Amino acid sequence: MAAQHNFIPSRFLAPSHWPTWLGLGVMRLIALLPWRLQIAIGSALGTLLFHLIPSRRRVAEINLRLCMPELSDVQRHGLIRDNFRATAISIFEGAMSWWGSDRRIKPLYHIEGLEHLEAARALGRGVILLGGHYTTLEISGRFLAYHVEGLQPIYKPARNPLFEAVLAHSRRRLFDDLLNSNDMRTIIRNLKRGKVVWYAPDQDFGRDRSIFAPFFGVATATLTATAKMAKLSKAPLLPYTSERLSDGRFVIRLQPALEHFPSGDDLADATRTNRIIEEQVRRVPEQYLWVHKRFKTRPEDEEGLY
């Protein structure tokens, strides 16, 4: 059962929180609409944001020029537009994952590879689920929670205090607990206790905790914490992906645990985990978080990209 942490709305009544309350209220209302209509609204919103946020469109443009140089200008433009749509739809997916009823959620997906998780858990240790920042990340957590006992996502708290309070409260109703990405001691302890830790390391956390490993052939600051967690906890690592299908439903895929991981070679391990995430991104490139400055931290002899 998820840990209980009370959310006290009266703590967030100051005028500075009113815009966030308005946004959350709109999300809550839209979550009541039929799912197909939510997708249509999200798609329309994404098209609007594509035109209204040129700074993020530029980030996606730079990322795709680096990662998929084989695309023509027309193809890249279309992919970025589709990516904005998928990203906007993910807002409503998040609302559904927080507030949708089981009756509405359960028909929306199917899951593959549960036998791999069962085999890993049979070893008597915790398990690390290695995911990525796919736009389906939030709602896929709701799907996983139906099947995975003791599921604990690692996350980075949001800067907006009201949004963070609602997000944490909503997630804790679904999961066994939430783990702060900076609290490595608790993460390792819970893995040793047999918990399933869900981890998406594909963001830029700077130079200190990273090593430069290839991601789409680009030297990318990649966390070494993935191998460190596996080494200290002796927990097997299972790749996990989520994907929105053309009919509006979703598929969750669990793969077999990686063999010989960690290897003791930080660069080889980081390259391996990057490649796993890259494979899913190439499958459905519009469903990846291209608006994130993934390549912000550069090797010392390179200039900034953004």
Q: Find the domain containing 80 and state its range.
A: 9-287
86: in domain? yes
Question: Is residue 127 within 8 Å of residue 117, measured between CB atoms?
Answer: yes
Least reliable range by pLDDT among 4-8, 25-29, 184-188: 4-8
| pLDDT, tens only, 238-287 | 999 999 999 999 999 999 999 999 999 999 999 999 999 999 999 999 99
Model pLDDT, residue 6: 77
304: in domain? no
| pLDDT, tens only, 95-139 | 999 999 999 999 999 999 999 999 999 999 999 999 999 999 999
Model pLDDT, residue 3: 45
157: in domain? yes
| pLDDT range class, residue 7, cuts 50, 70, 90 | confident
Instruction: Give the residue with greater pLDDT, 6 vs 249.
Output: 249
Model pLDDT, residue 2: 44
Task: Provide mean pLDDT across the span 16-41.
Answer: 95
Kindly state the percentage of the chain with pLDDT values over 70.
98
For the chain, give the longest Cα–Cα distance. Answer: 54
Q: How many domains would you assign to the chain?
A: 1
295: in domain? no
| pLDDT range class, residue 65, cuts 50, 70, 90 | very high
277: in domain? yes
Q: How many residues does the chain have?
A: 306
Question: Is residue 133 within 8 Å of residue 63, measured between CB atoms?
Answer: no
Task: Provide mean pLDDT across the span 74-87.
Answer: 98
Flag whether pLDDT at 1 surpasses 80: no
Instruction: Give the residue with greater pLDDT, 5 vs 68.
Output: 68
For all residues of the chain together, what is the average pLDDT? 95
* 204 Cβ contact list (under 8 Å, min separation 6): 210, 220, 221, 292, 293, 294, 295, 296, 297
pTM for this prediction? 0.93
Question: Which residues are bridge partners to 237 per DSSP?
Answer: 128
Dihedral sign for Cα atoms in the order 288, 292, 295, 297: negative
Per DSSP bridges, beta strands 179-180 and 151-155 are parallel
292: in domain? no
Nearest-angstrom CA–CA distance, 111 and 180: 27
| pLDDT range class, residue 5, cuts 50, 70, 90 | low
* 122 Cβ contact list (under 8 Å, min separation 6): none
3: in domain? no
Kindly state the percentage of the chain with pLDDT values over 90.
95
Residue 196's nearest CA partner among 129, 122, 118 is 129
* 69 Cβ contact list (under 8 Å, min separation 6): none
Model pLDDT, residue 148: 93
97: in domain? yes
| CA distances (Å), origin 156, targets 74, 175, 200, 203 | 35, 16, 11, 11
Per DSSP bridges, beta strands 151-155 and 237-244 are unpaired
| pLDDT, tens only, 144-179 | 999 999 999 999 999 999 999 999 999 999 999 999
